């Protein structure tokens, strides 16, 4: 991707060297930790937080500042700063043309764990958007996992992840997120299906931003394939197959690899909010 390194976004909140919350006073073995990790990745829920609701006084671990690691991560921080600002500028233009004011989301960088408006943010849950505080939470270690464990390398794969989460912010501003949560409350049996539709729409919104970068000649050879590889890597069917060796479509919450790639491509080809109506 063509971009100019240098500087940080004003919308970044860097908590990487702050104290991180540990798992509560409950002690679990490595097997239990692995089980919670897999469940958190597959269902994108904070299963570690269940340990803090046992009535046991929580323990605390403190992250020590790591200047060398900060220096190694700086090029990545600058890249996602560019993606953050560019994506938000793109959506500000799209929404303002419709008479809808755009509020900037904040991006919180953390290590291991931090607090959020939606509860404890754990690195094991992966990147997520919290509508309560309008912030995206990312442990940069996820990008290493994306490349090494899930086989999705490349800068545009990293960009896709952030653009997807900012797609949830756009859903929040449009009132889509609120309507979906209300429908899920009225019909719990349709909860997973509605969640899949919302996640696929966020993929499509990421595709809208990708189209804008293509129109501005920011894309390089292989960038689109890199994003599609990331979308496929985090499909529910692939994650379930990796974690338990079988696929259960009824439990999908984000969509299959094929669906996620399809809707990203729809956003790139259509380029409009209307082209991303996954609820139709």
The domain limits of the chain are 12-18+64-276
pLDDT tens, position by position, 40-73: 655 666 554 544 443 333 344 445 677 888 889 9
* Residue 280: strand, helix, or coil: coil
Across 179-197, average pLDDT: 96
Query: Once rounded to an integer, what is the mean pLDDT over residues 120-132?
Result: 94
pLDDT at 28: 36
Confidence at residue 52, expressed as pLDDT on a 0 to 100 scale: 43
Sort strands 12-14 and 128-130 into parallel, antiparallel or unpaired: unpaired
pLDDT at 25: 32
Question: Which residues, including other chains, have CB under 8 Å from residue 242's CB and lie 6 or more apart?
Answer: none
What pLDDT does 8 receive? 93
**Distance, CA of 217 to CA of 269 (rounded, Å):** 16
C-alpha 235/C-alpha 238 separation (Å) is 5
Three-state DSSP state, 56: coil
| Cβ–Cβ under 8 Å, residues 279 and 197 | yes
Per-residue pLDDT at 139 exceeds 70: yes
Average pLDDT over residues 254-275: 97
Report d(CA 75, CA 154) in Å as an integer: 13
């Amino acid at each position: 991707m063509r971009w100019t390194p240098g500087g940080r976004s004003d919308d970044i909140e860097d908590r990487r060297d702050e104290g991180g919350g540990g798992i509560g006073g409950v002690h679990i073995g490595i097997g239990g930790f692995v089980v919670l990790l897999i469940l958190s990745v597959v269902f994108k829920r904070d299963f570690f937080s269940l340990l803090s609701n046992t009535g046991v006084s929580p323990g605390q671990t403190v992250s020590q500042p790591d200047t060398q690691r900060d220096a190694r991560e700086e090029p990545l921080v600058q890249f996602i700063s560019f993606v953050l600002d560019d994506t938000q500028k793109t959506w500000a233009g799209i929404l303002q043309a419709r008479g809808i004011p755009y509020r900037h989301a904040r991006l919180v960088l953390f290590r291991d764990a931090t607090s959020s408006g939606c509860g404890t943010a754990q690195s094991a849950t992966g990147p997520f958007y919290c509508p309560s505080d309008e912030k995206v939470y990312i442990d940069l270690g996820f990008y290493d996992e994306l490349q090494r464990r899930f086989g999705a390398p490349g800068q545009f794969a990293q960009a896709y992840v952030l653009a997807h989460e900012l797609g949830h912010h756009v859903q929040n501003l449009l009132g889509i997120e609120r309507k979906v949560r209300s429908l899920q409350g009225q019909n719990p049996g349709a909860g997973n299906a509605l969640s899949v539709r919302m996640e696929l729409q966020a993929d499509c919104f990421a595709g809208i931003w990708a189209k804008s970068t293509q129109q501005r000649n920011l894309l390089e050879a292989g960038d689109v394939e890199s994003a599609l590889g990331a979308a496929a890597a985090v499909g529910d069917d692939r994650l379930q197959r990796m974690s338990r060796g079988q696929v259960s479509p009824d439990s999908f919450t984000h969509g299959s690899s094929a669906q996620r790639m399809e809707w990203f491509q729809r956003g790139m080809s259509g380029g409009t909010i209307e082209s991303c109506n996954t609820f139709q």
